């Protein structure tokens, strides 16, 4: 079988989710770098793969594309140890995945993009305040949950952990202070200890 | 079996998704009204059901709660005609569900909330401009897709349609002009023609 093609941008946490899962599943894939800071996701060629102009995009068969990182995560993990089979547990995984995209990523990923990817902390100073407020709310909710859970769902490592881990463990690159969240920090270490773990900017 | 308890707010599109699907599935449920404009989602009692302080929340068994509207939609539709069984088609449904929560709802639902629920169009005038820009981008993408599709996935009515319909069909209440999108308008009529359809503010 040909390796899967992953349209990706190395610093992206959304891209990293897919890279980490594919690696842990042992599924061969090739990265196609798309530099979002240079408008490469707005080219007609890329838009024909994802009209929403966002990475990651996974080509699962020639000409068959899937976008939205968390949809790709569910697709890849079905039938594996990374997604519970039980209906309610699977729904809880999805609950965290939607939480991540609605209440977490927009507040935690964007400051990191402004500060560490674009290097424009000063320009976005006012907007950062609002983002940090929402981001700390999401982190506080996670901290509370992790006080009584080792992983987010079913007391084991699932795609819920990978999806939340992607931007949480580099939140400091967006100006967040993770030292206020000891349970998150301990969970980050548990995720890093999983077999076949790779780091976010690890060249494959 | 006891009817399911749905913690809900009548004007909410996210709540409406669940109401519409439950009605079309013929599953008995009871609505518990939670007025989000009066801070009722921030009470300790409500936060014990959903620490993220958002409706809808579905109590699927006594003391067993599920939040995030689109996670609830997947939970309820599994094994029914509203969610395809094929793995790639199901992934496409999820792709649209994540698109809705990330690129659609934050831009289309919020202006409606400001203008029609809170009645504060003037106060949010500047923020509205930015929201409309994102909302029109989402609507344009949907319009393009509907030029060659009758429904969003698999050429039949699924939860992808319900989730996108919820806020799209009332987008004008947030100041959007839907007359620019003839294919969306035709799709809205197709959704409304589905059996057991109920309107967004229909008392049950």
The verdict on B93 and B187 lying in the same domain is: yes
Q: What is the pLDDT of residue B108?
A: 98
The verdict on A54 and A125 lying in the same domain is: no
Residues of A in contact with B74 (CB under 8 A): 91, 94
Q: What is the pLDDT of residue A203?
A: 79
Confirm whether the ipTM is greater than 0.85: yes
Residues of A in contact with B52 (CB under 8 A): 99, 103, 141
Can you say whether the dihedral through the CA atoms of A84, B14, B144, B78 is positive or negative? positive
Q: What is the pLDDT of residue B63?
A: 93
The CATH number linked to B42 is: 3.40.30.10
Q: What are phi and psi of B4, to 5 degrees?
A: -65, 145
**At which of B77, B105, B120 does a domain end?**
B77
List, as one string, the DSSP characters of B18-81: HHHHHHHHT--EEEEE--GGGTGGGSHHHHHH-TT--S-EEEEETTEEEESHHHHHHHHHTTST
pLDDT of A163 higher than 80? yes
Q: What is the pLDDT of residue B105?
A: 98
The verdict on A94 and A186 lying in the same domain is: yes
Asked if A67 has any chain B CB less than 8 Å from its own CB, the reply is: yes
The verdict on B147 and B58 lying in the same domain is: no
Give CA–CA dist A99/A105, Å, rounded: 9
A197 in a structural domain: no
Other CB atoms within a 10 A radius of the CB of residue A148 amount to 7
A201 in a structural domain: no
The verdict on B159 and B96 lying in the same domain is: yes
Quickly state the pLDDT bin for B183 (edges 50, 70, 90): very high
Mean pLDDT over each residue of chain B, to the nearest integer: 97
Q: Are A75 and B67 in contact (CB < 8 Å)?
A: no
The verdict on A100 and A50 lying in the same domain is: no
B144 in a structural domain: yes
Q: What is the pLDDT of residue B203?
A: 79
Each residue of A82-101: pLDDT tens digit? 999 999 999 999 999 999 99
Asked if A68 has any chain B CB less than 8 Å from its own CB, the reply is: yes
Total domains, chain A: 2
Give CA–CA dist B73/B14, Å, rounded: 10
Asked if B72 has any chain A CB less than 8 Å from its own CB, the reply is: yes
Asked if B53 has any chain A CB less than 8 Å from its own CB, the reply is: no
**At which of A46, A77, A108 does a domain end?**
A77
The CATH number linked to A97 is: 1.20.1050.10
The verdict on B98 and B69 lying in the same domain is: no
Q: Which domain holds residue A58?
A: 4-77
B204 in a structural domain: no
Q: Are B144 and A64 in contact (CB < 8 Å)?
A: no
Asked if B199 has any chain A CB less than 8 Å from its own CB, the reply is: no
Q: How many CB pairs under 8 A join A and B?
A: 86
Residues of A in contact with B94 (CB under 8 A): 68, 70-71, 74-75
Asked if B71 has any chain A CB less than 8 Å from its own CB, the reply is: yes
pLDDT of B21 higher than 80? yes
Q: Are B98 and A70 in contact (CB < 8 Å)?
A: yes
Best of B60, B94, B107 to substitute, by most chain A Cβ atoms within 10 angstroms, is: B94
A136 in a structural domain: yes
Q: Using CB atoms, which residue from A71, A78, A92 is nearest to B98?
A: A71
Q: Using CB atoms, which residue from B68, B87, B103 is nearest to A52?
A: B103
Q: What is the pLDDT of residue A12?
A: 97
Q: What is the pLDDT of residue B2?
A: 83
The verdict on A175 and A99 lying in the same domain is: yes
Q: What are phi and psi of B129, to 5 degrees?
A: -60, -50
A148 in a structural domain: yes
Locate A36 and state its tokens.
């979002």
pLDDT of A38 higher than 90? yes
pLDDT of B1 higher than 90? no
**At which of A77, A102, A120 does a domain end?**
A77
Asked if B76 has any chain A CB less than 8 Å from its own CB, the reply is: no
Tell me the percentage of chain B whose pLDDT exceeds 90. Answer: 97
The verdict on B54 and B133 lying in the same domain is: no
The verdict on B71 and B96 lying in the same domain is: no
The verdict on A118 and A25 lying in the same domain is: no
A50 in a structural domain: yes
Q: What is the pLDDT of residue B204?
A: 76
B12 in a structural domain: yes
Residues of B in contact with A66 (CB under 8 A): 88, 91-92, 95
Q: What is the pLDDT of residue A2?
A: 83
Q: What is the pLDDT of residue A204?
A: 75
Q: Are A71 and B60 in contact (CB < 8 Å)?
A: no
Each residue of A10-22: pLDDT tens digit? 999 999 999 999 9
Strand B57-61 versus strand A64-67 pairing type: unpaired
Q: Are B66 and A60 in contact (CB < 8 Å)?
A: no
Judged by DSSP in three states, A60 sits in strand
The verdict on A68 and A136 lying in the same domain is: no
Q: What is the pLDDT of residue B82?
A: 98
Each residue of B89-130: pLDDT tens digit? 999 999 999 999 999 999 999 999 999 999 999 999 999 999
Give CA–CA dist A127/B49, Å, rounded: 31
Instruction: Please give the average per-residue pLDDT across B23-42, as a whole number.
Output: 97
């Amino acid at each position: 079988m040909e390796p899967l093609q992953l349209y990706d941008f190395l610093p992206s946490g959304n891209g990293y989710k897919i890279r980490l899962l594919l690696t842990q599943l042992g599924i061969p894939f090739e990265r196609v770098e798309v530099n979002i800071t240079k408008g490469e996701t707005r080219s007609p060629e890329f838009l024909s793969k994802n009209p929403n102009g966002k990475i990651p995009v996974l080509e699962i068969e020639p000409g068959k594309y899937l976008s939205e990182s968390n949809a790709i995560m569910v697709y890849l993990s079905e039938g594996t140890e990374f997604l519970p089979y039980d209906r309610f547990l699977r729904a809880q995984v999805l609950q965290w995945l939607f939480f991540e995209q609605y209440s977490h990523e927009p507040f935690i990923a964007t400051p990191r993009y402004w500060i560490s990817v674009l290097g424009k902390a000063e320009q976005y100073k006012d907007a950062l305040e609002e983002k940090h407020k929402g981001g700390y709310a999401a982190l506080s909710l996670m901290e509370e949950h992790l006080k009584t859970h080792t992983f987010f769902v079913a007391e084991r490592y699932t795609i819920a952990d990978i999806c939340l881990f992607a931007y949480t463990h580099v939140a400091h690159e967006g100006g967040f202070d993770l030292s206020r969240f000891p349970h998150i920090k301990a969970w980050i270490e548990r995720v890093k200890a999983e077999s076949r773990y790779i780091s976010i900017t690890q060249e494959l």
